[in-house]
Amino acid sequence: MMDSAFSMPCLVASIRSGDDTVCRRPFLIAGFPLFGLLWDNPAMSDSTPALHRHPLTWLLLLALFAGGLYLGWQQFDQPAPPRLSDQVTRLPQPRPITDFELVDHHEQPFTLGRFRDQWSFVFFGYTHCPDVCPTAMLDLKRTVAAVADNGPDVMLPQVVFVSVDPERDTPEQLARFVPYFNPDFIGVTGSQDQLDQLSGQLSSLAMKVPNPDNPDNYLVDHTASILLLNPDGRLEAIFTPPHDPDTMAADYRELARHFKESS
């Protein structure tokens, strides 16, 4: 805390008089006695030039003081950090994504631009998934409903289901699966290389598990996390299973609030 004995009038008096005997206590800026560096520096004795009496020196000190106040105000003016559950991990810096080319279940192009100007929940799965994928999609349906029920102060997120099984998940197949959970949900597919371009940037893993008895009835092991992209098209947070829709909705609202206040 700044020494109460050293006040702004004292500083002004020192400037006007040019006499360092008016006030000799260090004035603290950002925790450092900047004036003390001049007054108490052994190298600056009476036998050396009194640089600290030069008007430019005082102007420099005043500029440092003003800069310290500005930086302190900037810290004070930052929005409160989002209060999040243990279910979500917020990235220290949102991860940028380079453009990609996929197709949605309406057979329309799906590129990075479709992630911009809105929040997006993204889940990597496949339509023949026996349990994890239907459960995650149902959780997302309930999450979006919970966000809507809690008021219009944040935008509703879009939900994008990205296939990890391009062999079987054609746009037609996705059109039978994805809208079942919500007609506004979007199914996305493409070639393996195209899908890898997106999944690799989002650290989503998938591996085909062959079935020797029935080659067409194979499984795919894949990441079960739900990803959240912000309106800049960057990865903002990762929701790890098990997913609780009400908790996800509350976390989403906190993240959206913080993003809006920080923009």
Question: Residues marked as binding for Cu cation?
Answer: 129, 133, 222
The CA-atom distances, in angstroms, between 171 and each of 27, 100, 101, 136 are 69, 17, 14, 20
Q: Hey, how many other C-beta atoms are within 10 angstroms of the C-beta on 242?
A: 11
In angstroms, how far is the first alpha carbon of the chain from the final one? Answer: 32
d(CA 222, CA 203): 11
Torsion from C-alpha of 70, 71, 76, 80, nearest 10 degrees: 130
> What Rg do the C-alpha atoms of the chain give, in angstroms?
29
Distance (Å, rounded) from C-alpha 225 to C-alpha 82? 20
Q: 107: which 2 tokens?
A: 């057979």
Please give the single-letter amino acid code of residue 144.
Answer: V
- Tell me whether residue 194 is exposed, middle or buried, using C-beta atoms within 10 angstroms of its C-beta: 0 to 12, 13 to 18, 19 or more: middle
Token readout for 235 is 């990865």
Contact yes or no for 119/256 (Cβ under 8 A): yes
Binding residues, by number, are: 129, 133, 222
How far lies 165's CA from each of 21, 137, 171, 190, in Å?
Answer: 80, 16, 12, 9
